[in-house]
Amino acid sequence: MNINAPHARTTGPAFDTARLDRLMDEAGIDVLLATSKHNTQYLLGGYKFIFFAAMDAIGHSRYLPFVIYEKGAADHSAYIGNKMEGGEHANNPFWTPTVHTATWGTLDAARLAVEHLKSIGKSGARIGIEPGFLPSDARDLLASGLDGARFVDATHAMERLRSIKAPHELDQLRQASELITDSMLATISAAREGSTKTEIIEQLRREETNRGLHFEYCLLTLGSSHNRAASPQAWAKGEVLSIDSGGNYHGYIGDLCRMGILGEPDAELEDLLAEIEAIQQAAFSKVRAGAPGAAMIEAAESLLKRSPSASFTDFFCHGMGLITHEAPFLMTNHPVAYEGIDADHPLETGMVISVETTMLHPKRGFIKLEDTLAITADGYEMFGERGRGWNRGGKG
């Protein structure tokens, strides 16, 4: 299965336009110019051009798609893409009333964006942009071509829009998580004494690819080491293995961590994983729509502080979806550098969060569980929940 295969496209926006209009109004934005891959994909109902899926660079410039959306006027929307996307549009028309597939670089795309904004009478409007995903040459051209325009950061508005997942998005995230779990368990089972980290990671890549996932990464440890990079280190009897992988299914990210053992876990290892499981369950017990994210964090951290392994164990949770860390943002700079602005806000039905507890044991190694939860009215649904104990290696 090709995750970048064309999706069936609708005759209108596939997102909640009323919600986007409200978020734009709150941010002081008249017209949105989305340029990141994840937000253009979201606004186009799942479409991403396969030619630039792995790399944006071409010639002296780079691929720069634009989705242009005017608040309250979806009929003024436009998509600006690469010349090769004309065939994509012919096969499965984009929903935007205006489509320009005539660009090869950033300046081509920016010029067409200026022309479109002028054509809808918005050259002097408050323009919402994604500063982290708008090259400087394109921004300079927009500024020079749009006399009187004011640029506004639209990042927060788009994060809010994507934070509530539609049923089809939940299905994609569920499938991504299930397929990653299947892949990790198969990889652990196939690995044996003498298998190197590099070989195990390559095995996981094949397992994920064969199941229709796009392999994103694998962070792997063996034995007492906390180093998660690929290396010639080999798995030995009695050692633990931690496997943390992100895989992409039609653009949506699955991100889980499971544990393996070559042989049978001793009593200490059983106790250590049980500590992690207890912290995870403490967090899960506070997860439901309407409850603040802080309640989950406080429950987990309260139990963690009383844990025998507290000095080398950490708890973290974050939102996820089209990217690995997105709204809700629940913890500050822990470990990724952003503010936990949503911790005191109620969780909402349709949000998806990753909950993880990590132990850097000084003798037994890297021990971790990471789970994916979709928020429901009365609690949560866990995606890919299998294999949360000690999984035996050398069985495949």
pLDDT in tens, 100-110: 999 999 999 99
**d(C-alpha 255, C-alpha 318), whole Å:** 11
- Predicted confidence band of residue 11 (pLDDT cuts 50, 70, 90): confident
Segment 95-123 mean pLDDT: 97
Specify the CATH superfamily of domain 17-162: Creatinase/prolidase N-terminal domain (3.40.350.10)
Cis peptide before 328 (omega within 30 of 0): yes
Nearest to 283 by CA among 272, 294, 273, 270: 294
Per-residue pLDDT of 278-309, as tens digits, reads 999 999 999 999 999 999 999 999 999 999 99
Lowest mean pLDDT among 47-51, 226-230, 360-364: 47-51
| DSSP label at residue 346 | B
Which of 387, 6, 389, 355 is CA-nearest to residue 179? 387
Between CA 135 and CA 106 the distance in angstroms is 7
Given a cut of 60, whether residue 261 has pLDDT beyond it is yes
Tell me, what's the pLDDT at 10? 59
Equal fold, 17-162 vs 167-392: no
For residue range 159-195, list pLDDT tens digits in order: 999 999 999 999 999 999 999 999 999 999 999 999 9
19 Cβ contact list (under 8 Å, min separation 6): 161, 164
What pLDDT is recorded for position 9?
56
CATH T-level fold of 167-392:
Creatine Amidinohydrolase (3.90.230)
**Is the link from the previous residue into 335 a cis peptide, with omega within 30 of 0?**
yes
pLDDT at 155 over 50: yes
Classify residue 34 by burial, with Cβ atoms within 10 Å: 0-12, 13-18, 19+. buried
Buried b (16+ CB within 10 A) or exposed e, 128-166: bbbeeebbeebbebbeebbeebebbebbebbbbbbbbbe
For the chain, what are the domain ranges?
Answer: 17-162, 167-392
Q: Which residue type does 391 have?
A: N
When pLDDT is cut at 50, 70 and 90, the band that residue 5 belongs to is: very low
What's the CA angle centered on 168, arms 31 and 39, to 5 degrees? 30
Q: How confident is the model at residue 7 (pLDDT cuts 50, 70, 90)?
A: very low
> Alpha-carbon dihedral of residues 320, 216, 255, 191, nearest 10 degrees?
180
Write out pLDDT tens, residues 305-361: 999 999 999 999 999 999 999 999 999 988 888 999 999 999 999 999 999 999 999
Q: What are phi and psi of 86, to 5 degrees?
A: -60, -35
**Whole-number Å distance between alpha carbons of 215 and 370:** 18
